[in-house]
Amino acid sequence: MSRASKLTLAGTSVATVATVFFVHYGQQSEKAAMHAGVVRDMEQQRVKRERQADFEMQKELESEYKKVQTVHDGEGDGKAGAGG
């Protein structure tokens, strides 16, 4: 083999190995990014469920409190402005 053909073979081999490496690295980073998205979505769903449970608990407490006490919305209670 001539020197030029050896250099061409070496050059194309290095380029092929580099291409395979970079494609593999790109696939791995894309896979990691997709997995991070799934983890983030699961965390958001967990937080949403917690908030919904808190909301339901607050609604239940509100209904319990309304059963045992009278609730006024503050309008026309006769206390504001009556002084003097």
pLDDT tens digit sequence for 31-79: 999 999 999 999 999 999 999 999 999 999 999 888 888 757 777 655 5
The more confident residue out of 45 and 82 is 45
* Token couple for 6: 């050896």
- Helices H, strands E: what count in the chain? 1, 0
pLDDT at 79: 57
Query: pTM for this one?
Result: 0.52
pLDDT for res 72: 72
Sign of CA dihedral 37, 39, 44, 48: positive
